[in-house]
Amino acid sequence: MDYAIASQPYPEQNWGKSASYTKYNSANSERNLMNILQQMHSSLDPRTVFASYGKTLGQLLPIQGLQLNQQLKLNWGRCHGLNQQRVISGFGEPYSIKYYLTAPLTPSQTLQLNELESLFSQPFFNAIKFDQMSNKAMFDALTGLGNRYYYRQTIKNALARANRNQGDIALLVLDLDNFKSLNDKHGHKLGDTVLSEFAELINEAIRNTDQAFRIGGDEFIIIAQGNELEMTPLCQRIITAMAEHPLMHAFNVQCSIGVTDSTVSNVQDKLYEAADKALYSAKAAGRNCFKMSNKNL
């Protein structure tokens, strides 16, 4: 059975189609519930489990859509019209789910929904827990950006796409100027605040198609679509934003950037080396600037 992944978040064009429900066959109820339970436990992706739950409800009850709108936002089916909000809990924090109905639930259908919710809750909370653990392994706890491990996976995939003639990939290596002296003089608490603010500044500067990472200390990386010359506006946005940022300005924290692209090399370590050399050229040029790689590797 095909369980389309629930959208996250939930634009209308990604709405799933809710199936026409059929009356519950009590003779086969035990077998049906066992099948449902197996399907719920077959994935550790919260979106897939949520969509599986929605598809099951759409087949058994007059339910055409589900919406979870908390820190984790999920949507399945058609989410408009008559609705009923319910809370599931028992394996973690409570989650409020809004059920969109094609007709009011009868008392027997409400009892059936209670039973289906009990089957859904454990695999759903297991999937959420697994997803949270996976995110911790891939994202920097301080800044929320991707970590070194996630960067290496992402640049590998990006270069593979570039090798298939799907466009150039640019690599930007960013380093905070004067950060060590700030950390030594004012302490790690302020240093951590600066790193977090810088990460937010980067996120505001990059495009939706770009990705940012903190790979250690005050060193950051951006993977962007395009060649190195096309990165000029992005570099200028970051340097200008640094100058205008109250905290960075108050403590004279600036940024140097080295830029290269996939025409230099399709090997990730060589690509990083080229961007890193460009970064040191920016440092040597007086800092608070960006330099392109000379493509001599």
Q: What is the mean pLDDT of each run of 10 residues along the chain (297 residues)?
A: 45 41 52 69 86 90 91 88 88 84 96 91 87 80 92 93 87 95 92 97 94 95 95 97 96 96 91 96 95 71
Indicate whether 197 and 265 sit together in one domain: yes
Taking CA atoms, 209 is separated from 151, 158, 221, 228, in Å, by: 15, 11, 14, 15
What's the confidence (pLDDT) of residue 261?
95
What's the confidence (pLDDT) of residue 30?
56
- The most distant pair of C-alpha atoms in the chain lies apart, rounded to whole Å, by 79
Catalytic machinery residues: 218
CA distance 50 to 97: 11
| Amino acid making up residue 160 | A
5 contacts: CB under 8 Å, gap ≥ 6: 45, 47, 48, 51
In a domain, 181, yes or no: yes
In a domain, 232, yes or no: yes
Q: Which of 73, 104, 136 represents a domain boundary (last residue)?
A: 136
Indicate whether 105 and 239 sit together in one domain: no
Which residue do the tokens 């108050």 mark?
250
Domain harbouring 64, CATH code: 3.30.450
Indicate whether 126 and 179 sit together in one domain: no
Indicate whether 131 and 224 sit together in one domain: no
What's the confidence (pLDDT) of residue 297?
41
Indicate whether 195 and 260 sit together in one domain: yes
Indicate whether 126 and 81 sit together in one domain: yes
19 contacts: CB under 8 Å, gap ≥ 6: 55, 58, 59
The parent domain of residue 55 ranges over 12-136
Burial of 98 (0-12, 13-18, 19+ CB in 10 A): middle
pTM (global) more than 0.85: no
Indicate whether 274 and 242 sit together in one domain: yes
Q: Which of 107, 136, 165 represents a domain boundary (last residue)?
A: 136
Q: What is the dihedral sign for C-alpha 285, 290, 292, 297?
A: positive
Indicate whether 163 and 183 sit together in one domain: yes
Q: Which of 88, 116, 136 represents a domain boundary (last residue)?
A: 136
In a domain, 297, yes or no: no
Identify the bridge partners of residue 139 per DSSP, sorted by sequence position.
Answer: 146
Domain harbouring 216, CATH code: 3.30.70.270
Indicate whether 95 and 160 sit together in one domain: no
In a domain, 7, yes or no: no
Instruction: Kindly give the pairing relationship between strand 169-177 and strand 211-216.
Output: unpaired
Indicate whether 178 and 213 sit together in one domain: yes
| Amino acid making up residue 271 | L
CA distance 195 to 177: 12
Contact 114, 24 (CB under 8 A): no
Q: What is the DSSP secondary structure assignment for residue 131, as one 8-state letter?
A: H
In a domain, 108, yes or no: yes
178 contacts: CB under 8 Å, gap ≥ 6: 251, 252, 253, 254
Q: Would you put residue 155 in left (φ > 0), alpha (ψ -120 to 50) or beta? A: alpha
Indicate whether 218 and 285 sit together in one domain: yes
CA distance 60 to 17: 14
In a domain, 1, yes or no: no
Q: How many structural domains is the chain composed of? A: 2
In a domain, 229, yes or no: yes
What's the confidence (pLDDT) of residue 88?
87
Q: What is the dihedral sign for C-alpha 167, 9, 131, 213?
A: positive
Indicate whether 180 and 98 sit together in one domain: no
In a domain, 142, yes or no: no
